Structures are given as C-alpha cells and as structure tokens.
C-alpha cells in the first residue's frame, strides 16, 4: 500500500446508463437502470478511488464485503448518472464508504459500502487453494 487512507476522501464519476444495465421485465424495449447495475457502479467508484489515491502498487487492490444500498428512483437508459463515494471510516484493512447516485433530476440511490484491502498475490494463493479443495469434494 502506498498511503494511509484518509476519511473524507471523495470520488465522483459520471456514467451513461446503457441497455446492458437495464431491467428486462417491466415492458418491451429499453427499461430502467437496474439495482444491481447501480450498486456495481457504486462499488467500482469506491474501488477506483482506493486504487487511484491510495493503492497504486500493483499488488494491492480491494474487494467488496458489504452493501447496504437503497434504490430510490427510476432512471432511463441513456441518462447520465453521477456516482459519488466518500470514505467515512477506516478500520485496519476495512474501508467504509457513503455512496450515492444522482441523475440530472434527483437522487436515485444511497447507502453504505465496505471494501477490504487485499494483497492480490496472497488473495490469489488462498483462492486457488480453495478451488483445489472444492474440486476434491
């Protein structure tokens, strides 16, 4: 790891909702931004903040460990959404973020997300051991 992770750090990014991020069950044609897709964009915003500001060494990254998000309003395919993440707590390797998403009219989602900082080679080694163990069961 490069630097101590600072509470109050913020990252914002804009995305354009695409068809692959929409629901497919409401009506025929392009639908609304799905909850799993909104959450994925929130998680990626948090991950990118950590990588860009604090985990610049190649061997370090983070994985999501907790999501507590409300999807408040519908947003159509093609709309621009601003996703925002703010570090609100750091406890050893666990980093908690306040996240939200807004389209050009209103807030569409909000909540908390937690990520754990990992050493990628060590994580991969533990994961590969688990894969081998599962293959024998």
- Could you tell me the residue range of the domain that residue 106 belongs to? 10-136
Q: Is residue 1 assigned to a domain?
A: no
Residue 81 maps to which CATH number? 3.10.129.10
Report the domain count for the chain.
1
Distance from C-alpha of 32 to C-alpha of 92, rounded to nearest angstrom: 38
Q: Is residue 67 assigned to a domain?
A: yes
- How do residues 59-86 score in pLDDT, each as one tens digit? 999 999 999 999 999 999 999 999 999 9
Average pLDDT score, the chain = 94
Which of 116, 122, 84, 75 has the alpha carbon at shortest distance from 8?
A: 84
- Helices (DSSP H) in the chain: which residue ranges? 35-53, 120-136
Q: Is residue 58 assigned to a domain?
A: yes
- How do residues 114-135 score in pLDDT, each as one tens digit? 999 999 999 999 999 999 999 9
Q: Is residue 3 assigned to a domain?
A: no
Please state the rounded mean pLDDT for residues 9-26: 90
Q: Is residue 128 assigned to a domain?
A: yes
Q: Is residue 66 assigned to a domain?
A: yes
Task: Give residue 88's region: left, alpha or beta (phi > 0; psi -120 to 50).
Answer: alpha
- Give the position of tokens 């061997």: 59
Q: Is residue 5 assigned to a domain?
A: no
């Amino acid at each position: 790891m490069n630097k101590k992770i600072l509470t109050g750090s913020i990252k914002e990014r804009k995305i354009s909702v695409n068809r692959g991020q929409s629901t497919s069950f409401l009506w025929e044609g392009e639908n609304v931004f799905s909850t799993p897709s909104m959450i994925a964009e929130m998680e990626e915003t948090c991950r990118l903040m950590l990588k860009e500001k604090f985990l610049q060494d190649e061997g370090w990254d983070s994985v999501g460990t907790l999501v507590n998000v409300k999807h408040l309003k519908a947003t159509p395919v093609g709309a621009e959404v601003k996703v925002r993440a703010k570090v609100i707590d750091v406890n050893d390797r666990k980093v908690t973020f306040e996240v939200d998403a807004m389209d050009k009219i209103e807030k569409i989602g909000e909540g908390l997300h937690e990520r754990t900082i990992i050493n990628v080679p060590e994580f991969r080694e533990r994961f590969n051991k688990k894969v081998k163990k599962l293959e024998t069961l």
